[in-house]
Structure 1
Amino acid sequence: MMTTLSDPVVTPAVNDDKTLASPFLKCLVRLMRAQDSYGLWRGKCDAVLLANFTVTDEQRRAIPIIGDPDPYVMWKLDIFYAAVGLAIEERSDLLVSRTMEVSQEGFGRVLFTTKRLVLLSKTLRDVHRFGFNTLRDCAKTGTRLVNDAVAVINAYPDVARA
């Protein structure tokens, strides 16, 4: 089942301004709004846009264990990891390359590198079920990935900047 931004069921009950103000979620919203070429999301609040990244346990149980990711899920995955890469660049002042390979069965890998240093390598599983229980989980996961990559840059600054 594919939900879209116009579906009322995806509108979250988010009253946590601290979560919505996290640097990672702000970066994610900027990327989503940058892709809004027709202005369909212009009037939507950030919480409504970010609701696309939440998949409750009940929704996740309704999705078959084995399945092919649809284009909408692939878009969510792509925009999430693009936000991770952009946040790494903002924190490190380095150009970061992202490589993401996902098979049609929903398994793959995402890799973030500088010219000579692997910053982050993550295995992707069950991509067709991609999403987070809450926006807070989304923010925590994105922030953790960014922090891990920046820690590698700080550990090997000469290699990262070479």
Structure 2
Amino acid sequence: MQGLTPFDYGADSLQRQLRSGEADSARFDVAFTAAMLHCLADLRVGRVRSEYHNYLPDPRLRQHDPVGGLRSGLAAGRLQAAVQAAKPQVWQYGRVKAALAHCRELSEPYSTLPRPPAKVAPGAYLAARALYSRLVLLGNLRIDVLPP
């Protein structure tokens, strides 16, 4: 989903409502609209705080109006057009999206590394060796760097 995680927008809950026949309810309409606006804003300016997170106006969204994009996409019966219009308009976007997909693919079989304490002293992170191996595998650390 354009590098975003459907879970962050309540996609599973919306799907359950669709399957159960609740898609005609006003509650579903509000939830779907909020999820789409949140998603379009995140797609355009990144997963950082936007007005769809905290209700404060976000100056980065002045050049792209998620509400107008969603409205016109729905009116034309082409929701995908709203998503395409929200995509970042920089040449690097495709490369970043491909790199993210590759990293997710590589990290799929691995368990989550333990969260370090708030402050980590040198040599104190218990999963340092596993982190080192993963960073080498993902190409984020050169193999000639000595392991911890």
Query: TM-score, normalization: structure 1?
Result: 0.27
Structure with higher RCO (Cα < 8 A, 6+ apart): 1
TM-score by length of 2: 0.29
Bigger radius of gyration among the two: 2
Please state which structure has a larger fraction of its residues in strand: 1
Q: Counting helix residues as a fraction of each chain, which structure ranks higher?
A: 2
